[in-house]
Structure 1
Amino acid sequence: MSNKEKEVQAPDDVQTDMPVEEAAELTLEEKYSQALAAVEELRKDNLRVLADGENFKKRLLREKEEFFKFATSAILEETIPVIDNLDLALAHGRQTEACKDLVTGVEMTMNIFLDTMKKHGLEQIAAVDVPFDPALHEALSQIERDDLEENTVCQMLQKGYMLKDRLLRPAKVMVSRKAGA
């Protein structure tokens, strides 16, 4: 093939009236622009992947905290009847003089037990002389009381318990009302 034939067989995308060096230079500039665009796209993809990883890590930490926060929930919930039974035993034991030493021992055991439960987040709900709160209290009846504000808890029938900020059992209470209301 002669030199003239080589010049005639120019690439289709290059204009034939331009010198060969200019066409090659334009192609290099285009390739450079494409490479820069690809690098920028990869950089954005990398940032998205890093952000997704950080969000995943934060979500796992939140889930782990929630798990540990309420991991003991079932056990603590099952101890509530034990506390109720100890309260009943103390109430009945206090009525008999012969059980005085036994009552003292049960009271000490009960206090240690309640302190241990408190360390794990179990709290008794304040239920007497506080305003009635349907989120914490279950009203079983009303009593006419002029010495208290309307809808004040005046008697607790069964203790209520919370685990941190979650209600395990509402306090069963009697609520005051004004006479004639």
Structure 2
Amino acid sequence: MSEKKDNSEMNEEENSAPEAEKAAENEVTLSEDELKALCREHVCPSCDVMEEAKDERLRALADSENLKKRLTRETNELKKFASESVLSDLLPIVDNLDLALSHAKDLDACKDFVMGVDMTRKLFLETLARHGLEAVGKIGEEFDPNFHEAMGMAQVAELTDGCVAQVMQRGYVLKGRIIRPAKVMVNKLD
């Protein structure tokens, strides 16, 4: 009986070998593009699943583009204002130089000292300006709550109503962004 099984298994193998050869001869090779085109034409061309997959793919592409744009914008913003904290830490130095000049400007004995402090202040401000820092708050300019902080009112007949009459502390702007508002007295005529 075992011989019969072995013979039948052999016959099956002999029969399957020619079928495999025939299948290999009938096999058609398609390029990947041709296969994709055939799939689009014949496999579910009006299927909702295919449309949903297309929509998801388009949404994913749009999301990735938006992410790239946002990261680029945030990187540029970070680069633009990276020096803000250092520059804001240097502002008290400018304030102290201004204070030294205001106290010693009328003393003849300090004439050379005042000239040295003034030169240092100008050099320091030029250096800060090269990094995008600008001073705001000048007597006579129109009061702007975006750049000025009103400390009180003053009456100066030579100035128009609502303009800066006195600067108590100069303000600074870095590339359009306010770092410190100017503390000012606003002119108020009766």
Do these two structures clear the TM 0.5 threshold for a shared fold by scoring above it?
Answer: yes
Q: What is the correspondence of 1:90-105 to structure 2 with a 5 Å cutoff? A: 90-105=101-116
1:32 to 37, 42, 58: 42
Q: Percent same amino acid at aligned positions?
A: 45
1:171 aligns with 2:168: no
What one-letter code is carried by the residue in structure 1 that aligns with 2:151?
Answer: L
Q: Give the number of equivalent residue pairs.
A: 152
The C-alpha deviation readout for 1:43-85, integer Å capped at 9, x for no partner, is 5544333322221111101111111222111111111111000
The gaps in structure 1 that reach 5 residues or longer are 1-27
Normalising by structure 1, we get a TM-score of 0.70
The equivalent of 1:126 in structure 2 is: 137
Q: What is the correspondence of 1:70-89 to structure 2 with a 5 Å cutoff? A: 70-89=81-100
CA distance 1:72–1:149, shift in 2 (3 Å): same
> How far apart are the structure 1 equivalents of 2:39 and 2:159?
88
The equivalent of 1:157 in structure 2 is: 168
8 Å CA contact retained: 2:137, 2:184: no
> How far apart are the structure 2 equivalents of 1:137 and 1:107?
25
> How far apart are the structure 1 equivalents of 2:95 and 2:41?
80
Q: CA deviation at 1:29?
A: 10
Normalising by structure 2, we get a TM-score of 0.68
1:148 to 155, 159, 179: 159
The gaps in structure 2 that reach 5 residues or longer are 1-37
